[in-house]
Structure 1
Amino acid sequence: MIALGSDHGGFPLKQRIKEYLDAHGLEYQDFGCMDTSSCDYPVYAQLAAEAVALGKCERGIVICTTGVGISIAANKVKGIRCALCTDPYVAEMTRRHNDANMLAMGAGVVGPNLAERIVEAFLTTEFEGGRHQRRVDLITEMEGKTK
Protein backbone atom coordinates (compact mmCIF):
# COMPACT_ATOMS: atom_id res chain seq x y z
CA MET A 1 0.00 0.00 0.00
CA ILE A 2 1.29 3.43 -0.95
CA ALA A 3 0.34 6.58 0.97
CA LEU A 4 -0.36 9.60 -1.21
CA GLY A 5 -0.57 13.24 -0.21
CA SER A 6 -0.47 16.60 -1.92
CA ASP A 7 -1.43 20.20 -1.63
CA HIS A 8 -3.41 22.11 -4.25
CA GLY A 9 -0.28 22.70 -6.37
CA GLY A 10 0.47 18.99 -6.45
CA PHE A 11 -3.11 17.77 -6.86
CA PRO A 12 -3.14 17.41 -10.68
CA LEU A 13 0.13 15.45 -10.69
CA LYS A 14 -1.10 13.28 -7.82
CA GLN A 15 -4.14 12.41 -9.95
CA ARG A 16 -1.80 11.38 -12.77
CA ILE A 17 0.23 9.24 -10.36
CA LYS A 18 -2.98 7.57 -9.17
CA GLU A 19 -3.74 6.64 -12.80
CA TYR A 20 -0.23 5.19 -13.11
CA LEU A 21 -0.65 3.17 -9.90
CA ASP A 22 -4.07 1.92 -11.02
CA ALA A 23 -2.65 0.85 -14.39
CA HIS A 24 0.06 -1.15 -12.60
CA GLY A 25 -2.29 -2.74 -10.07
CA LEU A 26 -0.69 -0.97 -7.12
CA GLU A 27 -2.84 -0.17 -4.09
CA TYR A 28 -2.76 3.27 -2.50
CA GLN A 29 -4.53 5.43 0.01
CA ASP A 30 -5.04 9.10 -0.81
CA PHE A 31 -4.73 11.25 2.30
CA GLY A 32 -5.62 14.46 0.42
CA CYS A 33 -6.00 17.10 -0.65
CA MET A 34 -9.00 16.31 -2.83
CA ASP A 35 -9.09 19.27 -5.23
CA THR A 36 -7.19 22.40 -6.27
CA SER A 37 -8.59 24.63 -3.50
CA SER A 38 -5.83 26.37 -1.56
CA CYS A 39 -4.70 24.27 1.39
CA ASP A 40 -1.73 23.69 3.71
CA TYR A 41 0.74 21.01 2.59
CA PRO A 42 1.94 20.09 6.13
CA VAL A 43 -1.48 18.62 6.92
CA TYR A 44 -1.32 16.12 4.06
CA ALA A 45 2.38 15.43 4.45
CA GLN A 46 1.77 14.47 8.07
CA LEU A 47 -1.18 12.20 7.30
CA ALA A 48 0.71 10.32 4.59
CA ALA A 49 3.95 10.16 6.60
CA GLU A 50 2.23 8.85 9.71
CA ALA A 51 0.64 6.06 7.65
CA VAL A 52 4.13 5.03 6.51
CA ALA A 53 5.73 5.45 9.94
CA LEU A 54 3.00 3.36 11.59
CA GLY A 55 3.35 0.60 8.98
CA LYS A 56 -0.11 1.08 7.49
CA CYS A 57 1.57 1.83 4.15
CA GLU A 58 4.91 0.52 2.90
CA ARG A 59 5.94 3.72 1.14
CA GLY A 60 4.60 7.18 0.48
CA ILE A 61 4.52 9.75 -2.29
CA VAL A 62 3.90 13.43 -1.55
CA ILE A 63 3.65 16.29 -4.02
CA CYS A 64 3.53 20.07 -3.84
CA THR A 65 4.60 22.72 -6.35
CA THR A 66 8.35 22.42 -5.66
CA GLY A 67 8.41 19.30 -3.48
CA VAL A 68 10.51 21.14 -0.92
CA GLY A 69 7.90 22.14 1.64
CA ILE A 70 6.05 18.84 1.62
CA SER A 71 9.31 16.88 1.95
CA ILE A 72 10.40 19.00 4.92
CA ALA A 73 7.02 18.44 6.57
CA ALA A 74 7.06 14.68 5.95
CA ASN A 75 10.56 14.39 7.41
CA LYS A 76 9.31 15.82 10.71
CA VAL A 77 7.51 12.51 11.36
CA LYS A 78 9.72 10.08 13.26
CA GLY A 79 10.83 7.16 11.11
CA ILE A 80 10.40 8.95 7.81
CA ARG A 81 13.15 9.36 5.25
CA CYS A 82 11.50 11.42 2.54
CA ALA A 83 13.62 12.26 -0.49
CA LEU A 84 12.87 15.02 -2.98
CA CYS A 85 13.61 13.49 -6.37
CA THR A 86 13.82 15.25 -9.71
CA ASP A 87 14.84 12.33 -11.90
CA PRO A 88 14.75 8.51 -11.90
CA TYR A 89 18.44 8.17 -11.02
CA VAL A 90 18.01 10.14 -7.79
CA ALA A 91 14.92 8.06 -6.94
CA GLU A 92 16.83 4.84 -7.57
CA MET A 93 19.84 5.88 -5.51
CA THR A 94 17.82 7.17 -2.57
CA ARG A 95 16.21 3.74 -2.35
CA ARG A 96 19.49 1.85 -2.82
CA HIS A 97 21.58 3.89 -0.40
CA ASN A 98 19.20 5.74 1.94
CA ASP A 99 16.28 3.30 2.19
CA ALA A 100 13.97 6.28 1.64
CA ASN A 101 10.43 5.32 2.52
CA MET A 102 8.80 8.40 1.02
CA LEU A 103 9.21 10.19 -2.28
CA ALA A 104 8.54 13.90 -2.74
CA MET A 105 8.14 15.55 -6.11
CA GLY A 106 7.48 19.06 -7.32
CA ALA A 107 4.63 19.36 -9.78
CA GLY A 108 6.11 22.61 -11.07
CA VAL A 109 9.51 20.95 -11.52
CA VAL A 110 8.80 17.58 -13.13
CA GLY A 111 6.24 16.87 -15.81
CA PRO A 112 3.83 13.93 -15.66
CA ASN A 113 5.85 11.57 -17.88
CA LEU A 114 9.05 12.16 -15.91
CA ALA A 115 7.10 11.83 -12.65
CA GLU A 116 5.90 8.38 -13.70
CA ARG A 117 9.49 7.29 -14.38
CA ILE A 118 10.56 8.66 -10.98
CA VAL A 119 7.74 6.77 -9.25
CA GLU A 120 8.65 3.57 -11.11
CA ALA A 121 12.30 3.83 -10.02
CA PHE A 122 11.29 4.59 -6.43
CA LEU A 123 8.84 1.70 -6.17
CA THR A 124 10.93 -0.96 -7.92
CA THR A 125 14.35 -0.33 -6.39
CA GLU A 126 15.33 -2.23 -3.25
CA PHE A 127 17.61 -1.05 -0.44
CA GLU A 128 21.15 -2.47 -0.80
CA GLY A 129 21.86 -2.69 2.92
CA GLY A 130 25.48 -3.45 3.75
CA ARG A 131 27.53 -0.34 4.47
CA HIS A 132 24.46 1.76 3.71
CA GLN A 133 22.59 0.21 6.65
CA ARG A 134 25.13 1.70 9.05
CA ARG A 135 24.44 5.15 7.62
CA VAL A 136 20.67 4.73 7.78
CA ASP A 137 21.08 3.64 11.40
CA LEU A 138 23.08 6.80 12.13
CA ILE A 139 20.29 8.90 10.62
CA THR A 140 17.73 7.06 12.74
CA GLU A 141 19.78 7.70 15.88
CA MET A 142 19.66 11.45 15.13
CA GLU A 143 15.87 11.59 15.46
CA GLY A 144 14.88 13.66 18.42
CA LYS A 145 18.44 14.44 19.46
CA THR A 146 19.60 18.00 19.86
CA LYS A 147 22.84 19.10 21.44
Structure 2
Amino acid sequence: MQPSHNTRRQHFRHPAEIPIEISSSTSVEKSTEYTHDISCDGLSFQSASALQVDHIVTLTIKLTKPRFEESARVIWCHELTTGYEIGVSFLEKDALFRIRMVEQVCHIEQYRKDVLKLQNRDLTSQEAALEWINKYATDFSR
Protein backbone atom coordinates (compact mmCIF):
# COMPACT_ATOMS: atom_id res chain seq x y z
CA MET A 1 0.00 0.00 0.00
CA GLN A 2 2.24 2.76 -1.29
CA PRO A 3 1.36 6.45 -0.97
CA SER A 4 0.42 8.23 -4.15
CA HIS A 5 2.65 11.09 -5.31
CA ASN A 6 0.34 13.72 -3.81
CA THR A 7 0.09 12.04 -0.38
CA ARG A 8 3.83 11.83 0.27
CA ARG A 9 4.98 13.74 3.35
CA GLN A 10 5.57 17.40 2.57
CA HIS A 11 6.72 18.61 6.01
CA PHE A 12 9.75 18.13 8.23
CA ARG A 13 9.44 15.17 10.60
CA HIS A 14 10.28 15.31 14.31
CA PRO A 15 11.41 11.92 15.64
CA ALA A 16 9.51 10.93 18.75
CA GLU A 17 8.72 7.72 20.59
CA ILE A 18 5.47 8.37 22.38
CA PRO A 19 3.19 5.50 23.43
CA ILE A 20 -0.17 5.79 21.68
CA GLU A 21 -3.31 3.68 21.82
CA ILE A 22 -4.90 2.99 18.44
CA SER A 23 -8.60 2.19 18.24
CA SER A 24 -11.09 1.93 15.44
CA SER A 25 -14.84 2.01 15.09
CA THR A 26 -14.66 -1.25 13.11
CA SER A 27 -12.84 -3.19 15.83
CA VAL A 28 -13.24 -3.60 19.57
CA GLU A 29 -9.51 -4.30 19.90
CA LYS A 30 -7.13 -1.54 20.90
CA SER A 31 -3.38 -1.69 20.43
CA THR A 32 -0.61 0.29 22.03
CA GLU A 33 2.13 1.38 19.65
CA TYR A 34 4.93 3.97 19.65
CA THR A 35 5.09 6.94 17.34
CA HIS A 36 8.12 7.25 15.07
CA ASP A 37 7.76 10.67 13.52
CA ILE A 38 5.50 13.64 14.05
CA SER A 39 5.05 16.24 11.33
CA CYS A 40 2.78 19.20 10.63
CA ASP A 41 0.02 17.01 9.29
CA GLY A 42 0.22 13.74 11.20
CA LEU A 43 2.45 10.99 12.53
CA SER A 44 3.71 7.49 11.81
CA PHE A 45 3.92 4.36 13.95
CA GLN A 46 4.61 0.64 13.65
CA SER A 47 1.87 -1.91 14.17
CA ALA A 48 1.56 -5.67 14.08
CA SER A 49 -1.59 -5.24 11.96
CA ALA A 50 -2.18 -3.47 8.67
CA LEU A 51 -4.73 -0.67 8.40
CA GLN A 52 -6.60 0.23 5.23
CA VAL A 53 -5.80 3.55 3.57
CA ASP A 54 -8.57 6.13 4.27
CA HIS A 55 -9.64 4.23 7.42
CA ILE A 56 -10.38 6.53 10.39
CA VAL A 57 -8.70 5.66 13.71
CA THR A 58 -8.65 7.26 17.14
CA LEU A 59 -5.23 8.00 18.63
CA THR A 60 -5.00 8.30 22.42
CA ILE A 61 -1.98 9.40 24.44
CA LYS A 62 -2.50 8.88 28.16
CA LEU A 63 0.78 10.40 29.38
CA THR A 64 -0.69 13.84 29.97
CA LYS A 65 -3.71 15.20 31.78
CA PRO A 66 -5.96 15.83 30.05
CA ARG A 67 -5.10 12.97 27.76
CA PHE A 68 -4.59 13.59 24.04
CA GLU A 69 -7.28 12.01 21.86
CA GLU A 70 -7.70 12.76 18.15
CA SER A 71 -9.15 11.16 15.07
CA ALA A 72 -6.86 10.56 12.12
CA ARG A 73 -7.08 9.15 8.60
CA VAL A 74 -4.70 6.40 7.46
CA ILE A 75 -2.70 7.87 4.57
CA TRP A 76 -0.30 5.01 3.90
CA CYS A 77 0.63 1.55 5.18
CA HIS A 78 3.98 -0.12 4.36
CA GLU A 79 4.65 -3.77 5.06
CA LEU A 80 7.83 -4.42 7.06
CA THR A 81 9.50 -7.66 8.09
CA THR A 82 8.20 -7.10 11.65
CA GLY A 83 4.72 -5.76 10.88
CA TYR A 84 3.62 -2.50 9.27
CA GLU A 85 4.59 1.14 9.35
CA ILE A 86 1.50 3.33 9.16
CA GLY A 87 1.18 7.03 8.42
CA VAL A 88 -1.87 8.97 9.55
CA SER A 89 -3.07 12.53 9.04
CA PHE A 90 -4.95 14.41 11.77
CA LEU A 91 -8.52 15.40 10.97
CA GLU A 92 -8.39 18.48 13.24
CA LYS A 93 -5.85 21.20 12.46
CA ASP A 94 -5.06 22.05 16.11
CA ALA A 95 -4.06 18.43 16.82
CA LEU A 96 -0.47 19.13 15.77
CA PHE A 97 0.01 21.77 18.46
CA ARG A 98 -1.43 19.46 21.10
CA ILE A 99 0.69 16.46 20.13
CA ARG A 100 3.84 18.60 20.01
CA MET A 101 3.07 19.59 23.61
CA VAL A 102 2.77 15.90 24.52
CA GLU A 103 6.08 15.25 22.77
CA GLN A 104 7.69 18.04 24.79
CA VAL A 105 6.35 16.59 28.05
CA CYS A 106 7.89 13.22 27.09
CA HIS A 107 11.27 14.86 26.40
CA ILE A 108 11.16 16.66 29.76
CA GLU A 109 10.30 13.46 31.63
CA GLN A 110 13.17 11.64 29.88
CA TYR A 111 15.48 14.54 30.78
CA ARG A 112 14.41 14.23 34.44
CA LYS A 113 15.23 10.49 34.41
CA ASP A 114 18.59 11.08 32.69
CA VAL A 115 19.60 13.75 35.23
CA LEU A 116 18.75 11.39 38.08
CA LYS A 117 20.75 8.55 36.54
CA LEU A 118 23.76 10.54 35.32
CA GLN A 119 23.99 13.34 37.89
CA ASN A 120 22.14 11.81 40.85
CA ARG A 121 19.89 14.89 41.02
CA ASP A 122 16.23 14.13 41.73
CA LEU A 123 14.40 16.99 39.99
CA THR A 124 10.71 17.71 40.32
CA SER A 125 8.78 17.79 37.06
CA GLN A 126 8.71 21.59 37.24
CA GLU A 127 12.48 21.86 37.86
CA ALA A 128 13.14 19.47 34.98
CA ALA A 129 10.84 21.48 32.71
CA LEU A 130 12.63 24.75 33.51
CA GLU A 131 16.07 23.24 32.89
CA TRP A 132 14.97 21.44 29.72
CA ILE A 133 13.31 24.56 28.29
CA ASN A 134 16.45 26.64 28.95
CA LYS A 135 18.69 24.03 27.31
CA TYR A 136 16.62 22.55 24.47
CA ALA A 137 13.42 24.47 23.69
CA THR A 138 15.01 26.42 20.83
CA ASP A 139 16.12 23.22 19.08
CA PHE A 140 12.78 21.51 19.80
CA SER A 141 10.78 24.15 17.92
CA ARG A 142 12.45 23.30 14.61
TM > 0.5 = no
TM-score using structure 1 length: 0.29
Q: Whose helix proportion is higher, 1 or 2?
A: 1
With a CA cutoff of 8 Å and minimum separation of 6, indicate the structure with the bigger relative contact order.
Answer: 1
Q: Whose strand proportion is higher, 1 or 2?
A: 2
